[in-house]
Structure 1
């Protein structure tokens, strides 16, 4: 079966440093992360964003909904972390390259943010979940752009 990824890019009129902050600083990421709740309970990200550190998506009551680990890190350039819904019945086989990857490249004060999420092919109904995630990223990326440009 072919791998299934969400693969989206947006250009942001801000430095890679500002975009990085919007991705990793609670004040910002707790705004865009709520898009993933899809009308369910609101949650926030909890991580130190260090290589190997946990990334926890916690509900309002502190319950962990999604967990993962930072598997690749190059500050202001690359961040990858795994994601696993703890409510899922079975744990899908994931590699360290699976999960969510942010790749930032800056040129002339503008940053291109490339997001890759997957591989959804390891999940039952993977295409459905990839398509749902793609719809969410279509809201998240403009939100990240807006916050980074406002902070500029």
Structure 2
């Protein structure tokens, strides 16, 4: 099966805020893409890309409003934590992310973190991700750029998972 990949990237600067903003078209219905994003057996596949040479980790969450989102290493230790701040099945999922290894406590709002927006047309799903705000971090632009590179690896994996199921 030939994978065609179209990722639209734009770095968004809104009122001094820094975001990664990407969209990918997936040849699968929205329900399959939602499953690729939220089912443990699938998140375990694409979450590895965020390890970027560090300890491998996986994501644990029920994906219900206010539920925790825990990125755990192989030893079970929490590396990144957050909470689901918005969820509408097959349409929207937003959760905060905070690297517990960081000494810097960033000021985040419920709109910060990672947002997945999905829309379906003619059996194809558009998956839009927004991650940020990186401006609250020291060296925020560096971290935004690094995150953008990781999403360039994650999104094709999500696409492949959704299209194969």
Q: Unpaired runs of 5+ in structure 1?
A: none
Secondary structure of the 1:140 match is helix
CA distance in 2, matches of 1:30, 1:66: 15
- Partner SS state of residue 107, structure 2: coil
Determine helix, strand or coil for the equivalent of 2:164: helix
What is the alpha-carbon distance in structure 2 between the residues aligned to residue 44 and residue 75 of structure 1?
21
> Paired residue for 1:21, among 35, 41, 52?
35
- In 2, Cα distance between the equivalents of 1:40 and 1:139? 16
SS at match of 2:34: helix
Distance 2:44 2:68 in 1: 16
CA distance in 1, matches of 2:87, 2:59: 17
Equivalent in 49, 60, 63 of residue 77 of structure 2: 63
TM-score by length of 2: 0.91
Task: Give the TM-score, by structure 1 length.
Answer: 0.98
Which residue number corresponds to residue 77 of structure 1?
A: 91
Cα distance in structure 2, aligned partners of 1:50 and 1:69: 9
Structure 1 position 136 matched with structure 2 position 136: no
Instruction: State the 1:91 CA deviation.
Output: 1.1
Can you list the C-alpha shifts for 1:67-97, whole angstroms capped at 9, x where unaligned?
0000000001000000000001021000000
How far 1:16 sits from its partner (Å)? 0.5
Which of structure 1's runs of 4+ aligned residues deviate more than 4 A? none
**Cα-to-partner distance string for 1:31-60 (whole Å, 9 max, x where unaligned):** 100100101110000000000000000000
Give the match for residue 135 of structure 2: 121
Deviation at 1:2, TM superposition (A): 1.4
| More displaced 10-residue stretch of structure 1: 59-68 or 1-10 | 1-10
> 1:51 — aligned with what?
65
Shift of residue 6 of structure 1?
0.3
CA distance in 1 between partners of 2:69 and 2:98 (Å): 10
Structure 1 counterpart SS, 2:105: coil
- Consecutive unaligned residues of structure 2, counting only runs of 5 or more, are 1-14
